[in-house]
Structure 1
Amino acid sequence: MPAPAVLREVFLAYRARRGEEDDGFLFEDAGGPLTRLDVLVYRSAELTTFATIGMAAREMPATPGPGGGGRAELHYVRRARLTRAEEHAIAVRLANLAIHPFLTGTPVDWGHMVGLGDDFPVLPGCRAVFLAGPLSPDAVDYVHTREGPVRILNVVPITDAERDLGRGMSPLDFARYLLDKRDLYT
C-alpha cells in the first residue's frame, strides 16, 4: 500500500532540507494505531539526528483546550556518534512516543512533558521528555503539506528533577531554562 500523500510530502521536505538519510529503522504493526513508522537517521561529524515519518498519517485526537489535534512528527538530536544498537534503542523509544497520543487519546504538542517509565536510551536518569518547538533560529517548526501543517516536536530528554521544575513554569520559560542551563543535545 502506498504511503499517504502527507507522509510523502514530509519525506520530501526532510530530503530537501537534510539530503538523503544515512540510515533508518522501520516499525510495522498492521493492528496498531500507526501501521508503519519510519525513523530516519542523519549523521554528521558532531550530531546524530532522528526524524520520524508516520505519526502524521493520522491527526492526533482532539481534546478541549489549546493544542488539540493536528498532525506532528518527532525530531531528536544527540551530540554524539552512536552505535547502531544505541540508534536502534532511540528509534524504538521514538516509535513508542509517536503512538502515545493514539493509545492514550491525548494529543501532544510543544510544551508537553511525557513520562517514559524508564530511562531514555543512552541518557541514564532521563525518565521523561519535554516536547519543544524550534530550539534554534534556523530550526523547522512545521512542514507545510496539502493536508495542513505538520508540527515538528523536538524531543528533549529530562530528569525527574527537571520535570518537577518544569511543572511549575510556563513551557516557554522551561525551554529557556533548559537552553540556558545545559546543552540539550548531550
Structure 2
Amino acid sequence: MSAPPVLRDVFHALRNTWGEEDHGHLFENGPGPLSRLDVLIYRPTGASPMTSFATIGMAVEPMPATPGPGGGGRVELQFARRGGLDQGDEYTIAEQLANIAAYPWITGSQLNWGHTVALGRDFPTFPGCGSVFLSGPLSPEGWDYIPAGDDAVRILNVVPITEAERARARLLPPVEFAQELIAQTDVYTGRADR
C-alpha cells in the first residue's frame, strides 16, 4: 500500500532539502493512526556537523484537537545532535522520537510549539535532560511548515532540556525562552559535552 499523499509530500521535501537519508528506523503498530512511523537519519557531512533526525508518519492524520493554541493539525518532529553518533545511540534517539510522536494519540492532547513534555527518563545522549521543549525553527534556515497538498505540516523541533530549563520555560513566552536557551547553551549537545 502506498503512503498517503501528505506523507509523500513530507518525504519529498526532506529529500529535496537534505538529500537521501543515511539510515532510518521503522516503528509499526503505534497508537491510533500511527500504524507506521519512519525516523530518518542524516549523518554529519562537510556542510553540516549535525546528526539530524526527521519523523515521517505522524502527519498521517491531524492530531486530536484539544483546547489551546494550535487546535490539532498535522505535525512531524525534527531533532539535531552535534557530531556523529554510534548506531546504538541513533536507534535510542529514533525510539524516543517515536514515543514522542505517539503522545497525542496516547493522551488525546495535541503537541505544539512551546509545549514541554516530561519523558520519565533522560533523552538519549543528553544526560540530565528529562524533558523536551518543542520549538519552531531554531535557525533562519529552519522550517516552520512543509506544504503538503492543500494542507501544511508543522515542524516541531525537539530540544532536550533540564528540569531547571523546564521550570524557566514555564515562566517565559515560548519564543523568548527559546531565544534565551539558544543564547545560553548549545542546544545541539548534551549538557555534559560542554
TM (norm. structure 1) is 0.97
Structure 1: segments with no counterpart, 5+ residues: none
The amino acid that maps onto 2:19 is G
Q: Provide the residue aligned with 1:159 in structure 2.
A: 162
Q: Deviations over 1:91-121 (max 9, x none)?
A: 0000000010111011001111000000000
Q: Provide the residue aligned with 2:85 in structure 1.
A: 82
- Is the 2:31–2:106 Cα contact (8 Å) retained in structure 1? no
Q: % of aligned pairs identical?
A: 57
Q: Provide the residue aligned with 1:24 in structure 2.
A: 24
- Is the 1:33–1:99 Cα contact (8 Å) retained in structure 2? no
Using the alignment, how far apart are the partners of 1:34 and 1:147 within structure 2?
21
Which structure 2 residues correspond to residues 103-118 of structure 1 after superposition, within 5 A?
Answer: 103-118=106-121
Q: What CA RMSD, in Å, does the superposition of the two structures yield over aligned residues?
A: 1.1
SS for the counterpart of 2:53 is: strand
Using the alignment, how far apart are the partners of 1:120 and 1:15 within structure 2?
27
Shift of 1:31: 6.2
Which structure 2 residues correspond to residues 79-158 of structure 1 after superposition, within 5 A?
Answer: 79-158=82-161
Moved over 6 A (4+): none
Shift of 1:80: 1.6
User: Of 49, 52, 55, which residue of structure 2 is paired with 1:49?
Assistant: 52
The amino acid that maps onto 2:159 is V
SS for the counterpart of 2:3 is: coil
Q: Provide the residue aligned with 1:170 in structure 2.
A: 173
Tell me, yes or no, if structure 1 residue 181 matches structure 2 residue 184: yes
Q: Provide the residue aligned with 2:36 in structure 1.
A: 36
Shift of 1:65: 2.7
CA spacing shift, 1:90–1:11, aligned 2, 3 Å = same
For these two proteins, the number of residue pairs brought into alignment is: 186
SS for the counterpart of 2:137 is: coil
Using the alignment, how far apart are the partners of 1:153 and 1:139 within structure 2?
11
Tell me, yes or no, if structure 1 residue 5 matches structure 2 residue 8: no
CA spacing shift, 1:137–1:23, aligned 2, 3 Å = same
SS for the counterpart of 2:59 is: helix
CA spacing shift, 1:5–1:165, aligned 2, 3 Å = same
Structure 2: segments with no counterpart, 5+ residues: 190-194
SS for the counterpart of 1:76 is: strand
